Amino acid sequence: MIRPTTTALKARARTLIERMTDRARWIYALPPSETKKHLAKTLGEHGFSIRDAESEAKVTKWLSSDDGASFVVLEKNDLDVTLVEAKGADAAAVLGALLAKTGFFAQSALLESAFDVATEDARKALLTLAHMVVAWDGDWGDLFLLHLASPDPVVRHDAVTAITIAAMVARDPGPAPELLAEAAKRETYPKLKDTIDDALNCVAAIAPA
């Protein structure tokens, strides 16, 4: 695959935001330290309160006073990001206020890193991006396929994990079964092949939203 230009990456990032807006469901990767500093205060000032929290999974859910909008916050220490999902039309302005204070990892920058497949940053970028797949399209499949084709089994393993995450986030298996089935045919490492089989079982259980 030819590496996309900066212009193409920015256009792709705009497409991701448009798809999120179409579904009133936005997912961003934020710097953990800034998120801890500003998230609770910002959401509280806009009438959101914690309704559910799982300390072990590091997940917190916030709801608006009328339950019409929500935020789900997931701390991902292994990726050095905090993922924030805002849902509902009323959440958009609140998310904007939060991002203005915390900053965020731009989708175009994450995409650029993900295309440098041989680097550690590419692994983290792909897994971070997988949490942003609110809707499947061909470009997602191409990016995951690029990582599945790596000669490095660690990269392939991370790609399998990312595809599984993407299917769960999208609430739609999309191309995941085909991508994983083809990867299984090519895979020579028994343990990784078992991982792919587990991933296939996982995505098979996801009913399209």
Answer yes or no: are the C-beta atoms of 88 and 69 closer than 8 Å: yes
User: Does residue 2 belong to any structural domain of this protein?
Assistant: no
Q: Are 111 and 189 found together in one domain?
A: yes
pLDDT at 55: 74
Q: CA-to-CA distance for 201 and 121, rounded, in angstroms? A: 28
Q: CA-to-CA distance for 30 and 85, rounded, in angstroms? A: 11
pLDDT-above-90 percentage for the chain: 90
Three-state DSSP state, 140: helix
Q: CA-to-CA distance for 44 and 179, rounded, in angstroms? A: 42
pTM: 0.94
Least confident of 20-34, 49-63, 137-151: 49-63
User: Does residue 125 belong to any structural domain of this protein?
Assistant: yes
Q: CA-to-CA distance for 147 and 159, rounded, in angstroms? A: 6
Q: Are 139 and 87 found together in one domain?
A: no
Q: Are 139 and 199 found together in one domain?
A: yes
The two tokens of residue 195 are 């991982």
Task: Find tokens 């393993």 and name the residue.
Answer: 157
User: Does residue 58 belong to any structural domain of this protein?
Assistant: yes
The two tokens of residue 105 are 């990892």
pLDDT-above-70 percentage for the chain: 98
